[in-house]
Amino acid sequence: MIKVGIVGGTGYTGVELLRLLSQHPHVELVAITSRKESGMPVAEMFPSLRGRVDLAFTDPASAPLAKCDVVFFATPHGVAMAQAPELLAAGVRLIDLAADFRLKSTAEFERWYKMPHSCPEVLAEAVYGLPEVNREAIRRARVIGLPGCYPTSVQLGFLPVLDPEAARVAGGDLVELDSLIADCKSGASGAGRKAEVGTLLAEASDNFRAYSVAGHRHLPEIRQGLEAVVGKPVKLAFTPHLVPMIRGIFSTLYARITPRARELDFQALYERRFAAEPFVDVMPAGSAPETRSVRASNFVRIAVHRPPDSDLLMVLVVEDNLVKGASGQGVQVMNLMFGLPEDAGLTQVPILP
């Protein structure tokens, strides 16, 4: 059994980790930390876990994290980097759901997150935890920087058309790299479990708005990931929106097709690229995925379209921001790190309605 600790178990990603790990056939939950709620039974805060999780929250200072095989950080930015060196020295593997180990440049991290990076030596060895791109590196990793929710959907949606092998076969780039567009929408749980005016019921309900239009923290992460795939700079316009639902992401992606690729069967390209991926479903031609088709599951569903009389490629991507966009992807990564079947503990069917 894999002994697992969770730092910061009281937020939405924390309770989602608890839901998934409590059903995992190869996991023993050892510790769940919270300074404020120390001593409170987990099932008292989250009655949905009654009969599944019998632990109480413990203070991080006294939690037996060093006895774990892996520790998840479901915490605000900056927490994982402060505790990483000590845990790594004890032989513990780390999976961070925040941004401490996502951006490879400390200068970029400090620019976007407005805090110094305290352990660049750990960042240097950290692996970006997107299995569909970095599967083999994840297997060997000690430290994982888990992708953000928006970056997961955008990178997976653009991945097949940026694949260097596909470009080699076509004789050059399939899409114009200087005009990629990601028009993305998220439910309110993406903002976290905290009191905030913008996500109050009276503010978010019956409303639809863009935010962080001048620059969102996920932009450099998306750009870093896309450039790592294609091997050259890309230019991306990324606009996030808040929609009046609890969970789910819907990303509509646009790319201008190059002349050499105008006759390419993009549906077949996407189907080939993701044929062996356990959690990426390329839907039949003409489909329009819905966020509820992935709710509470680790699946991503993708539909590929070409508007009539246009050289635009339009890719529709849906995911659950708390599962494939966060905690479920964390469990998927853990499975890879410990040599387990990649879908262990993650075979839940999406819930409907």
Instruction: Report yes or no: 21 and 2 within 8 Å, Cβ to Cβ.
Output: no
Answer yes or no: are the C-beta atoms of 15 and 75 closer than 8 Å. Answer: no
Q: Among residues 65, 45, 51, which one has the least CA distance to residue 5?
A: 65
How many Cβ atoms from other residues are within 10 Å of residue 47's Cβ? 9
The residue among 318, 316, 353, 345 whose CA lies nearest residue 329 is 345
Count Cα atoms within 13 angstroms, Cβ side, for 132: 29
Residue 78 identity: G
Instruction: For residue 213, give both structure tokens.
Output: 């239009």
In sequence order, the β-bridge partners of residue 327 are none
Tell me the two tokens of residue 62: 């006294």
Supply the residues annotated as catalytic. 149
Cα(29)–Cα(7) distance, integer angstroms: 12
Residue 146 and residue 96 in contact, taking contact as beta carbons nearer than 8 Å: yes
Q: What are phi and psi of 29, to 5 degrees?
A: -75, 125
- Closest residue by Cα to residue 142 from 93, 104, 176: 93
List the one residue out of 78, 85, 76 whose CA is nearest residue 117. Answer: 78
- Chain center to CA of 266: 25
Q: Which long-range contacts (CB under 8 A, 24 or more apart) does 136-142 make?
A: 138/333, 138/336, 138/337, 139/336, 139/337, 139/339, 141/93, 141/337, 142/88, 142/93, 142/94
